[in-house]
Amino acid sequence: MKEKNDRLLSIDAARGFDMMFIMGMAGIIVALCKLFPEGGDSWLALQMKHVKWEGFRHHDTIFALFLFLSGMTIPFSIGKKISSGQSKSSIVLNILRRGLTLFVLGMIYGGLLKLEFSSFRIPSVLGRIGVAWMIAALLYVFTGKRFQWITAGTILVGYFILLKFCIAPDAPAGAGAFSLEGNIASYIDRLLIPNHIYKQGIYDPEGIVGTIPAVATALLGLFTGRYVKESGDSGNRKTIVMLVAAAIMIVITLIWSRWCPVIKALWTSTFVLAAAAYSLVVFAIFYYLLDVRGCRKGVLFFQVIGLNSITIYMAQRIFDFWGVSEFFLSGLSGLLPAAAGALLLRIGYFAVSWLFLYFLYKKNVFLKV
């Protein structure tokens, strides 16, 4: 086992597993499914796509797992600074800097540098991570455990009440409180940042209001990280506790979803719990294998991705990794049946992305945000 203040290998590996789907694994799985009769309509292929609105698929977990793991790092990174005697003002400045940097990177990802200031998208994945992580981190610095738990619970219950009983004033007749057209969260986003939301539509999956429950996701990660770091329980017991907690969250989600549907685009309270349950299971597996059992075989594959997760997220937006794959493999893929050729190009895309990160890893280059 690592010393308590050390960074857990399992957090980086779990983050690498998560980002693996963003950097091409989801496309590989869909392309692989298309080799079989059910094709893109198979259960596995559909797991690699977001639900249209209500529901829960694997692809809906990626963002939430990343945020959950970001929350987990707080007791390790910030806790270490506190225990070393670093001043609160210095810690707070670092928290604010990181949150603001992620928010700006998110706007750059959304088209800020096109200089179309009247219409560029303000909300973003990185922006939500930055804000939610920042609030959770500040709560960790300035408040105690009890207040943090109360805050998380209040957010979940309060957000449910807001969505359930406050329908959008401009909702069409018959639109439900949790519907695309009728929910109050999207209405507030349209009111506050018109022309700056996703595809200039009627909602933004990373909108302002939905960032509030995302803070609860970060806090649940924080609670998990603190338990793993500070508890005197054995590694085996910690793994069991996390799995039991995940099971409890699933039960609560199944019951509560009768009144509060699981909707990733709104980050509903039930989505928070469902995604947290998934996050706990994923982390518990990596924690048990890597930090409890000490297994290291194959961990480099995930670690390379996890240590530069923000880098690959931005790089795939900026660089043409697909073009590199086509440059090397388009000839060979053209000799294969269409479905097999498409799969080969997808594998090539993933390989180029991973090798890019491996090069940075070997050069000890990491984007520290």
Length of the chain (residues):
369
Cα 238-240-245 angle, rounded to 5 deg: 95
Query: Smallest Cα–Cα separation from 215: which of 332, 60, 358, 99?
Result: 99
Longest Cα–Cα distance in the chain = 63
Mean pLDDT, to the nearest integer, of 214-224? 98
Lowest mean pLDDT among 61-70, 77-86, 114-123, 354-363: 114-123
Q: Which residues contact 146 (CB under 8 A, 6 or more apart)?
A: none
Q: Check pLDDT > 50 for residue 1.
A: no
Residue linked to tokens 């910030």: 78
Confidence of residue 367 (pLDDT cuts 50, 70, 90): confident
Backbone angles phi, psi at 183, to 5 degrees: -75, 145
CA distance 191 to 320: 36
Paired with 167 in beta bridges are 183
Confidence of residue 230 (pLDDT cuts 50, 70, 90): very high
Model pLDDT, residue 8: 86
What digits encode the pLDDT tens for the residues 61-96?
A: 999 999 999 999 999 999 999 999 999 999 999 999
Cα 198-109-310 angle, rounded to 5 deg: 120
Q: Which residues contact 232 (CB under 8 A, 6 or more apart)?
A: none
Q: What percent of the chain has pLDDT over 90?
A: 89
**pTM score:** 0.94
Tokens of 308: 């530069």
Q: Are 73 and 224 in contact (CB under 8 A)?
A: no
Mean pLDDT, to the nearest integer, of 224-253? 97
Model pLDDT, residue 59: 96
Tokens of 10: 């399992």
CA distance 176 to 11: 39
Looking from the CA of 255 toward its CB, the CA atoms found within 13 Å total 6
Q: Check pLDDT > 50 for residue 163.
A: yes
Backbone angles phi, psi at 167, to 5 degrees: -90, 150
Tokens of 284: 């518990």
Model pLDDT, residue 4: 41
Q: Check pLDDT > 60 for residue 6.
A: no
